[in-house]
Amino acid sequence: MSERLRLMAVHAHPDDESSKGAATMARYVAEGAEVLVVTLTGGERGSILNPAMDRPEVRENIGEVRRKEMAEARRILGVHQEFSGFVDSGLPEGDPLPPLPEGCFAVQPLETASEPLVRSVRSFRPHVILTYDDEGGYPHPDHIMTNRVSVEAFEAAGDPERYPGTGDPWQPLKLYYHVSFPRTRFEAISAALEERGLDNPYADWIKRLEERERKEWEITTQITCDEHFETRDRALIAHATQIDPNSFWFAVPMDVQRAAWPWEDYHLARSLVDTEMPETDLFAGVRETVGT
């Protein structure tokens, strides 16, 4: 009997799993893989970004509300999900930036922040882990810390000398970074909209990307998952405090998205198996190793 493939996606807050890699996860669930989302914080300090949800009873119970939203998104995507139990650090604003709140996720010592994830890796035994790049994808302190603990868990979980008491060692085989907003994707969608004579809701976003200095990670791996874009959007809308269903994220017709960019994009950061670039499968090289 062949071994079931296992994919772990490590995220900072509820809703991150639905805005980054959701269609990929839905595809692999449909193909029979087991998928676990690890959410490192509860999103307790997140802003309410949907005006329809900005009500006193929601603001006063934001942690509980976001857990319920996460449960619904998990159901829609068909994944397993668990919280690591850390407290959201919030996104500091101001000049100079204020200090982060005492006890929040981003100020934890690396080993303290990593231990629950090492425990999850040793329990779930993923072959592949998805996480953010070393700049967090964007400069939120929890996203940057998510990268650090993901790399730490990838490198430490297989070492029996490290993190004693967190389960039997397990070595994942591949670690990927999300490439969530590649300029080429927005350019392709913009060109498709122009061809059809449609307005481009991404025009201002693209301009901001061009003005902002940021590292462009090489796309090593593209997962065709356009059949699951509707599932992705339903999961995203389930996070009602974070997502306005009337926002520009949903303004591009689905047929345009599928024609212009039917993929979700990744950068292969670590691999202990042989694979050839470019990849079209997160489990390339893993299938042969585990005998699926």
- Residue 202 forms part of a structural domain: no
**Closest by Cα among 265, 239, 220, 189 to 24:** 265
Q: Are 147 and 134 in contact (CB under 8 A)?
A: yes
Residue linked to tokens 């299938």: 287
**Domain count of the fold of the chain:** 1
- Residue 204 forms part of a structural domain: no
- Distance CA(47)–CA(265), nearest Å, equals 27
Query: Which domain covers residue 21, as residue numbers?
Result: 6-182+217-290
- Residue 239 forms part of a structural domain: yes
- Residue 191 forms part of a structural domain: no
- Distance CA(16)–CA(239), nearest Å, equals 10
State residue 292's pLDDT score. 60
DSSP annotation of 158? T
- Residue 282 forms part of a structural domain: yes
Q: Are strands 263-271 and 174-178 parallel, antiparallel or unpaired?
A: antiparallel
- The pTM of this model reads 0.96
Sheet containing strand 221-224, strands side by side: 80-86, 34-41, 6-11, 128-131, 174-178, 263-271, 221-224
- Residue 48 forms part of a structural domain: yes
Q: Are 154 and 269 in contact (CB under 8 A)?
A: no
Segments of the chain with pLDDT less than 70: 1-2, 209, 212-213, 292
Q: What CATH number did the domain enclosing 147 receive?
A: 3.40.50.10320
User: In a 3-state reduction of DSSP, which class is residue 65?
Assistant: helix
